[in-house]
Structure 1
Amino acid sequence: MMSLYVVAAIVLAVALGYTTKINIGLFAIAFAYLLGCFGMGLSPSEIIAMWPLKIFFIIFSVCLFYSFAIVNGTLEKLAEHLLYLCRNVPHLLPYAVFLTACLIAGLGAGYYTVLAFMAPLTLLLCQRTGMSLILGGMAVNYGALGGANFVSSQSGIIFRGLMTGLGVPESEAFINGLAIFASTMVIPLVVITAFVFFAGHGRALKNAAVAIETPSPLNREQKITLWLTLLMMLIVLAGPIAHILFPGNATVTFVNSKVDIGLIASVFSVIALMLKLGDERKAIASLPWGTLIMICGVGMLISVAIKAGAIDALASWIGGNIPPVLVALVFGVVAALMSIFASTLGVVTPALFPMVPPLAAAMSIDPMVLFISIVVGAQATSISPFSSGGSLILSSCADEQSRTRLFPQLLLRAAPIGFVAAMLFNLALTFI
């Protein structure tokens, strides 16, 4: 019975957060305390210990370092330069938008930050070149999502943290993270290609005149920030990749055991401050505090659900009622429906990832397939106008007329197309 109460609390926390616009994590913390202490007899100390400290520290420290690139304008300037380079091939502009958003997000800006400054620029390009709003919106949205899923960027770090928290070895979580990143890059490219070459959108772009002003060069602070960011990514990736290539080498194993992205990012943040690459107060203020509270708050409630046996019960029900060949598809559908109203990072993956290890073991399914299907499904509907990504794109429209025209296109075309593509991918992934 307590399992049902906890599941109901998760649903209620999401519903209350969506309707009241209050952070879902705050409701989740309250429900974790009330159900854990008064319903299950846990002590307050046990509830507080459920705060996912490791994930919190990693997100905090990594985002703190990456925030210098946001505060001093490095990422925005880099985006301008990349788009300027593509001015002579306007029919490839959707790919340029997608890859630019992906690169900027992969360098650590995170999904929401990239959309915040790339969406207005993309919609302006749509007006100047004849590129359709729906194609531009999909390109920037899915590019930001794919880049943020990179193993050393914001979403990728969260996915890896959730997996290791479930007992998945670090090396396996790293490989799973790379697979998630690759999957969320392939699907959008296929969808964009279908739009450009088979839906007639490419013809409108071929003869377009792209008016992009020559961007100013990067200043000293921006150049140093960019090189530091690339250096940190190289250091963070070198250890796990070397360990995968040389698993028996004692030196590689030792070095890899000392690599921690959160601690490395903390060192680089000190270097950035010493080099005066940005204002410390502005950098701290730009951290995604709302996302941190949501992820950790929901994580506490999910821990209570695990303690109550709710996750095992749901996994057992799926294992007994869903054929193995359809499990990935079902996870994708559930994640997509949840993502329409809830955050992928803060709600969907913390709620569904814990079911993967027991299900994968019971049904002889590769856990990687299920992890991928959850993320792919959740991000398929992120462009819905009711979701955070779609609403950010709508708010970037220059006028009410464009906003009115784009709303049904996102709801009735972009979201369904993304959903169908994701589900077909999940099915193919199961058989492959």
Structure 2
Amino acid sequence: MMSLLVVAAIVAAVALGYRTKINIGLFAIAFAYLIGCFAMGLSPSEVIGMWPLKIFFIIFSVCLFYSFATVNGTLEKLAEHLIYHCRTVPQLLPFAVFFTATLISAMGAGYYTVLAFMAPITLLLCERTGMSLITGGMAVNYGALSGANFVSSQSGIIFRGLMVNAGIPENEAFLNAAGIFVSTLVIPLLVISALVFLTGHGKAMKATAFVATEPAPLNREQKTTLWLTLTMMAIVLAAPITQILFPDNATLSFINSKMDIGLIASLFSVIALLLKLGDERKAMASVPWATLIMICGVGMLISVAIKAGTIDVLASWMSNSIPPILVPIVFGIVAAFMSLFSSTLGVVTPALFPMVPPIASALGLDPMILFVAIVVGAQATSISPFSSGGSLILGSCTTEQSRAALFPQLLFRAAPLGFVAALVFNALLTFVY
């Protein structure tokens, strides 16, 4: 009975957030309090203690540091340069858009930020070069998603934190996050290649190179920010990789035990401020506070669900009702439909990731397969006009006519294409492993 009540609360939080446009996390906090204290007899301190403090600190610290590259224009200038250098090969422009969005997102801009300044550029390029809106939209959306999934970028860090909270060791969480990144890098390349080379896209584009003005070079602050970002990424990646390669080395184990991406990012934020790379108030304002509240609020409600035994009940039902070979595919489908109307980071992964360890253990599956299937499925439909990615792309249209023309293309072509690609990938992944 209690498990049904918690599941109903999760559904209600998502539905109310979608309906009222109020942050889902706030509804989740309210339900966590009401159910935890009055239905389960927990103390207020116990419910407050369910706030995922470590995830909150890591996301805040990393986003604060990366926000300097956004505030001082480093990422936008870098995107302009990369697009400019591809002006002579318009047929390969979708790949240029994809890799540019991937790189900028991997450097910490995050999914929403990249779409905010890359989507208008991409739609403008579609007008100038003859690139189809579907191809351009999927390239920039997929790129922003893939880069954000990088192990040291925003989504990758969130995934790792959720895995650790679910009981996965740090090193395994790092490898699982790397598997998610690689998977979400491969699928877009296959889809974009099919659109470009199998649908006559290259012939449809204009034969001549599009006109592009050479952007101004990076200034001192932007160059310093770029090098500082690359340095932090190298430090963050080097520690766990060397630990995996040399697990018995005592010195490397000691160094790795002292590494924390949140604390490292905080240190680099201080360095950025001392070097005057950006305004502190603007950097603070650029932190995605709404996303933080949503992730942590839903995390509290999920913790209540775990305390009530809901996750174990659902995991047991799936283990007994679904053949093991179909579990990753089912996870992907469920995640895809949830993502149509809710956030991958704020709702889908916090709700589904805790179910992975018990199901993987019961069925003898590799947890990485299930984690990958969830993210691949959830992000497959993110270009739907009802989801955050699709709505941002629609918002980048310059006229109401182009917006009206793009809406059905995103809903009836791009989203189904992404869903089918994810379904095929998850099926292949399941059968291969």
TM (normalized to structure 2)?
A: 0.99
* CA shift for structure 1 position 206: 5.5
- What is the aligned partner in structure 2 of residue 430 from structure 1? 430
Question: For 1:209-256, what per-residue CA distance to the aligned partner results, in whole angstroms no more than 9, with x for missing partners?
Answer: 312210000000000000000000000000000011111111111111
Question: 1:55 and 2:26 equivalent?
Answer: no
For residues 9 and 106 of structure 2, the distance between their equivalents in structure 1, rounded to whole angstroms, comes to 34
- What is the aligned partner in structure 1 of residue 223 from structure 2? 223
Contact 1:24 1:298 in 2 (8 A): yes
Structure 1, 317-326 or 208-217: larger mean CA deviation: 208-217
For residues 208 and 70 of structure 1, the distance between their equivalents in structure 2, rounded to whole angstroms, comes to 33
For residues 264 and 106 of structure 2, the distance between their equivalents in structure 1, rounded to whole angstroms, comes to 17
For residues 219 and 67 of structure 1, the distance between their equivalents in structure 2, rounded to whole angstroms, comes to 17
- What is the aligned partner in structure 1 of residue 266 from structure 2? 266
Large movers: runs of 4+ above 6 Å = none
* CA shift for structure 1 position 204: 1.6
Question: 1:151 and 2:151 equivalent?
Answer: yes
Contact 1:134 1:410 in 2 (8 A): yes
Q: Which amino acid aligns with 2:73?
A: G
For residues 75 and 294 of structure 2, the distance between their equivalents in structure 1, rounded to whole angstroms, comes to 26
**Partner secondary structure for residue 341 of structure 1:** coil
Q: Which amino acid aligns with 1:20?
A: T
Which ranges in structure 2 are unaligned for 5 or more consecutive residues?
none
For residues 87 and 357 of structure 1, the distance between their equivalents in structure 2, rounded to whole angstroms, comes to 47
For residues 308 and 2 of structure 1, the distance between their equivalents in structure 2, rounded to whole angstroms, comes to 7
Map 1:22-171 onto structure 2 (within 5 A): 22-171=22-171
- What is the aligned partner in structure 2 of residue 296 from structure 1? 296
For residues 208 and 347 of structure 2, the distance between their equivalents in structure 1, rounded to whole angstroms, comes to 42
For residues 253 and 144 of structure 2, the distance between their equivalents in structure 1, rounded to whole angstroms, comes to 33
CA RMSD of aligned residues (A): 0.6
- What is the aligned partner in structure 2 of residue 414 from structure 1? 414
- What is the aligned partner in structure 1 of residue 256 from structure 2? 256
Q: Which amino acid aligns with 1:49?
A: G
For residues 105 and 380 of structure 2, the distance between their equivalents in structure 1, rounded to whole angstroms, comes to 18
Contact 2:89 2:209 in 1 (8 A): no
Question: For 1:320-367, what per-residue CA distance to the aligned partner results, in whole angstroms no more than 9, with x for missing partners?
Answer: 110001000000000000000000000000000000000000000000
For residues 18 and 50 of structure 1, the distance between their equivalents in structure 2, rounded to whole angstroms, comes to 24
Contact 1:128 1:209 in 2 (8 A): no
For residues 319 and 162 of structure 2, the distance between their equivalents in structure 1, rounded to whole angstroms, comes to 22
**Partner secondary structure for residue 211 of structure 2:** coil
Which ranges in structure 1 are unaligned for 5 or more consecutive residues?
none
- What is the aligned partner in structure 2 of residue 276 from structure 1? 276
**Partner secondary structure for residue 88 of structure 2:** coil
For residues 368 and 211 of structure 1, the distance between their equivalents in structure 2, rounded to whole angstroms, comes to 45
- What is the aligned partner in structure 1 of residue 203 from structure 2? 203
Q: Which amino acid aligns with 2:242?
A: A
For residues 204 and 235 of structure 1, the distance between their equivalents in structure 2, rounded to whole angstroms, comes to 44
Q: Which amino acid aligns with 1:336?
A: A
Q: Which amino acid aligns with 1:362?
A: A
Contact 2:130 2:204 in 1 (8 A): yes
Q: Which amino acid aligns with 1:282?
A: K
For residues 270 and 362 of structure 2, the distance between their equivalents in structure 1, rounded to whole angstroms, comes to 46
Question: For 1:9-54, what per-residue CA distance to the aligned partner results, in whole angstroms no more than 9, with x for missing partners?
Answer: 0000000000100000000000000000000000000000000000
- What is the aligned partner in structure 2 of residue 12 from structure 1? 12
For residues 295 and 32 of structure 1, the distance between their equivalents in structure 2, rounded to whole angstroms, comes to 13
**Partner secondary structure for residue 340 of structure 2:** helix
- What is the aligned partner in structure 2 of residue 365 from structure 1? 365
Contact 1:130 1:208 in 2 (8 A): no
* CA shift for structure 1 position 202: 1.4
* CA shift for structure 1 position 166: 1.3
Structure 1, 363-372 or 205-214: larger mean CA deviation: 205-214
Contact 2:130 2:206 in 1 (8 A): no
* CA shift for structure 1 position 318: 0.5
* CA shift for structure 1 position 401: 1.1
**Partner secondary structure for residue 167 of structure 1:** coil
- What is the aligned partner in structure 2 of residue 351 from structure 1? 351
* CA shift for structure 1 position 205: 2.2
Contact 2:353 2:371 in 1 (8 A): yes
* CA shift for structure 1 position 167: 1.5
- What is the aligned partner in structure 2 of residue 21 from structure 1? 21
Question: 1:190 and 2:197 equivalent?
Answer: no
Q: Which amino acid aligns with 1:197?
A: F
For residues 241 and 376 of structure 1, the distance between their equivalents in structure 2, rounded to whole angstroms, comes to 24
- What is the aligned partner in structure 1 of residue 306 from structure 2? 306
Q: Which amino acid aligns with 2:32?
A: A
For residues 122 and 259 of structure 2, the distance between their equivalents in structure 1, rounded to whole angstroms, comes to 37
Residues paired across the two proteins, number:
432
For residues 167 and 405 of structure 2, the distance between their equivalents in structure 1, rounded to whole angstroms, comes to 47
For residues 73 and 63 of structure 2, the distance between their equivalents in structure 1, rounded to whole angstroms, comes to 15
For residues 253 and 38 of structure 1, the distance between their equivalents in structure 2, rounded to whole angstroms, comes to 45
Q: Which amino acid aligns with 1:160?
A: R
For residues 123 and 206 of structure 1, the distance between their equivalents in structure 2, rounded to whole angstroms, comes to 15
